[in-house]
């Protein structure tokens, strides 16, 4: 955020009075809401991390710029060594999120496909990073994601620990090359043939003490967003790797972690990035959901997961830059609803 500042009167005799305001101090909480089509939405809920003063010799041109991050930053300030006895990954996630209730975190934790509560006589999970790092590490173990999304009400945030939200209702479609119906200023697609990775190996099951091989064959994200995933298009040319850190696992755990890595690698095969005008789009594109694309041809049309959205707001202008992802070419639906 950038503000015009000046010095006039006795209150500014010593320094810019605005710099003494508590709203401009580092780690002050900032909530920004946008009302679009009469619907209010919480756009940003975070804390200030950087204050920049830019004095100018021209009257009225001095500015103060504030930069910040969302409230998940508060979970990433302190590295710690902590034990979580008799707690599986889901319980640990709930416990860590619960310690930040003062930031309005609403936990949304999905049970992982493989649950193995640790017996204190066998092992004790140990955390050796920040709480945010721990939550992301545990999520990645199951092919999950962890993020904090602002809303739905001011001063509340959704703390999502689970699979990417691919089953939500699609947002209004991004339309390209269709004359007056076009609502995207620019869009470009990139297919990366080296992202899709398969994992294999052999694990000595700690319960049966038997050595058992395992291997993944395809991404299993539900629902699929591409009719031709990279593994089908590239046939036998997918990258193959060996799963590491498999000691002390059961066969089910090793297979689950290998599948999670395969699923995560498929998420970055086909990406689309571009910019839209929110006024022409008629809505606000929201991250971490599903959106349709139409007008780019069969291979690139269809549904995508919205990975990232950046907002650029000026007087009389509202632009959004976006990044979309999915696992390959081809639409899974014959029609993308506008």
Phi, psi for residue 98 in degrees, rounded to 5: -65, -20
> CB 264: neighbour CB atoms within 10 A?
19
- Burial label for 141, CB within 10 Å (0-12, 13-18, 19+), is middle
Q: What is the bridge-based pairing of β-strands 239-242 and 197-204? A: parallel
Residue 92 in this model has a pLDDT that exceeds 90: yes
> pLDDT tens-digit profile of 124-144?
999 999 999 999 999 999 999
Q: Is 154 helix (H, G, I), strand (E, B) or coil?
A: coil
Determine contact, residues 109/93, Cβ cutoff 8 Å.
yes
Determine contact, residues 324/307, Cβ cutoff 8 Å.
yes
> pLDDT tens-digit profile of 255-291?
999 999 999 999 989 999 999 999 999 999 999 999 9
Residue 281 C-beta-side C-alpha neighbours within 13 Å = 26
314 Cβ contact partners less than 8 Å away, ≥ 6 residues apart: none
Phi, psi for residue 20 in degrees, rounded to 5: -90, -5
From 87-96, 169-178, 196-205, 290-299, the region with the lowest mean pLDDT: 196-205
> CB 78: neighbour CB atoms within 10 A?
10
- Average of per-residue pLDDT across 155-169: 95
User: Which runs of E-coded beta strand occur in the chain?
Assistant: 2-4, 29-36, 39-54, 63-70, 82-83, 105-109, 126-127, 145-150, 157-162, 171-175, 184-191, 197-204, 211-215, 228-229, 239-242, 270-277, 290-294, 302-314, 317-326, 328-329
- Average of per-residue pLDDT across 36-45: 90
Determine contact, residues 49/72, Cβ cutoff 8 Å.
no
- Give CA–CA dist 43/88, Å, rounded: 33
Enumerate domains of the chain plus CATH numbers. Answer: 2-32+42-69 (no CATH), 75-162 (3.55.50), 170-338 (no CATH)
Q: Is 229 helix (H, G, I), strand (E, B) or coil?
A: strand
- Give CA–CA dist 162/141, Å, rounded: 11
Size of the chain, expressed as the number of residues it contains: 338
pLDDT at res. 69: 95
If one compares 208 and 94, the residue with the highest pLDDT of the two is: 94
Most confident segment among 33-37, 166-170, 212-216, 319-323: 319-323
Model pTM score: 0.89
- Give CA–CA dist 191/295, Å, rounded: 18
Residue 248 C-beta-side C-alpha neighbours within 13 Å = 8
Q: Residue 180 gets which letter from DSSP?
A: G
Two structure tokens written together for 206:
């700690």
Residue 227 C-beta-side C-alpha neighbours within 13 Å = 10
CA distances from 142 to 35, 68, 124, 163 (A): 37, 30, 19, 8
- Please, where are the H alpha helices in 108-247? 131-141, 230-233
């Amino acid at each position: 955020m950038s503000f015009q500042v000046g010095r006039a009167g006795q209150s500014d005799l010593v320094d810019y009075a605005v710099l003494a305001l508590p709203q401009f101090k580092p780690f002050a909480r900032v909530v920004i809401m946008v009302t679009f089509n009469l619907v209010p939405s919480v756009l940003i809920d975070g804390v200030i991390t950087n204050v920049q003063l830019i004095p100018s010799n021209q009257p009225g041109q001095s500015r103060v710029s504030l930069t910040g991050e969302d409230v998940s930053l508060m979970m990433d300030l302190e590295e710690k060594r902590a034990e979580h006895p008799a707690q599986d990954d889901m319980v640990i996630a709930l416990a860590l999120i619960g310690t930040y209730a003062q930031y309005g975190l609403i936990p949304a934790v999905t049970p992982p496909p493989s649950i193995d509560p640790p017996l204190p006589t066998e092992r004790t999970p140990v955390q050796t990073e920040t709480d945010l790092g721990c939550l992301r590490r545990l999520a990645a173990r199951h092919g999950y994601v962890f993020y904090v999304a602002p809303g739905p009400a001011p001063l509340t945030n959704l703390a999502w620990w689970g699979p990417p939200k691919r089953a939500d209702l699609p947002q209004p479609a991004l339309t390209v090359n269709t004359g007056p119906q076009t609502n995207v200023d620019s869009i470009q697609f990139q297919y990366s043939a080296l992202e899709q990775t398969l994992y294999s190996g052999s694990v000595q099951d700690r319960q049966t003490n038997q050595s058992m091989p395992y291997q993944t064959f395809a991404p299993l994200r539900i629902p699929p967003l591409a009719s031709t995933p990279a593994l089908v298009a590239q046939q036998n040319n997918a990258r193959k790797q060996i799963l590491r850190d498999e000691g002390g696992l059961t066969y089910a755990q090793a297979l689950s972690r290998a599948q999670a890595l395969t699923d995560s690698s498929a998420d970055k095969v086909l990406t689309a990035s571009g910019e839209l005008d929110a006024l022409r789009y008629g809505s606000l594109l929201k991250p971490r959901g599903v959106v349709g694309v139409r007008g780019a041809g069969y291979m690139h049309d269809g549904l995508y997961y919205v990975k990232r959205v950046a907002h650029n707001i000026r007087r009389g202008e509202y632009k959004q830059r976006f990044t979309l992802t999915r696992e390959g070419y081809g639409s899974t639906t014959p029609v993308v609803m506008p």
